[in-house]
Amino acid sequence: MNRSSTTLGLLIAVIAAASFGLSGALIKPVLEAGWSPAAAVTVRVLIGGTVLAPFAILALKGRWIALWYARSRILLMAIIGVAGTQLVYFAAVERIPVGIAILLEYMAPLLLVGFAWATTRRMPKAVVLIGSVVALGGLILVVSPEGSGALDPIGIIFGACAAVGAAVYYVVAARSSEGLPAVALAAAGLLIGGIILGLIGLVGIVPFDMPMVDVSVLGFVAPWWVPLLIVGIVATGIAYSTSIMASEMLGSRLASFVGLLEVVTAAIYAWLLIGENLSITQFIGGALILAGIAFVRSEKSEHIGDFTIEAEAFPSDEDEPILAPASAPLEPGTDTVPLRHVQSSGG
How many Cβ atoms sit within 10 Å of the Cβ of residue 67? 17
At a CB cut-off of 8 Å and minimum separation 6, what does 99 contact? Answer: 143, 144, 145, 146
pLDDT in tens, 93-130: 878 887 888 889 999 999 999 988 888 888 888 999 99
63: phi then psi, degrees, rounded to nearest 5: -85, 65
Average pLDDT over the chain reads 83
- Quick one: pLDDT at residue 128? 92
Q: Return the DSSP state at 204.
A: T
Q: What angle do CA 61, 67, 70 make, to 5 degrees?
A: 130
Q: What is the pLDDT of residue 323?
A: 42
pLDDT band at 195 (very low <50, low <70, confident <90, very high): very high
- pLDDT value at residue 146: 61
Q: How high is the pLDDT of residue 300?
A: 55
**Per-residue model confidence (pLDDT) at position 294:** 93
Taking only the tens place, the pLDDT of each residue in 202-241 is 898 888 999 999 998 877 899 999 999 999 999 999 999 9
First to last CA, the chain: 16
pLDDT tens-digit series, residues 304-322: 333 333 434 444 444 444 3
Q: Give 176's pLDDT tier (boundaries 50, 70, 90).
A: confident
Residue 309, pLDDT score: 38
Q: Report the candidate in 125, 129, 42, 34 with the shortest Cα–Cα distance to residue 86.
A: 42
Choose the weakest-confidence range: 35-49, 98-112, 147-161, 189-203.
Answer: 147-161
Report pLDDT for 236. Answer: 95
Helix (H, G, I), strand (E, B) or coil at 278: coil
84 has pLDDT over 50:
yes
d(CA 110, CA 209) in angstroms, rounded, equals 35
Question: In the chain, which residue ranges form alpha helices assigned H by DSSP?
Answer: 3-32, 37-60, 65-69, 71-76, 85-93, 98-105, 108-120, 126-143, 153-174, 182-202, 225-230, 239-250, 252-258, 261-274, 280-297
Residues pairing with 223 in the sheet: 214
- The 3 state secondary structure assigned to 73-103 is HHHHHHHHHHHHHHHHHHHHHCCCCHHHHHH
pLDDT at 343: 31
Residue 74 to residue 188: CA distance in whole angstroms: 7
Lowest mean pLDDT among 89-93, 140-144, 155-159, 339-343: 339-343
Widest CA span in the chain: 59
Q: How confident is the model at residue 150 (pLDDT cuts 50, 70, 90)?
A: low
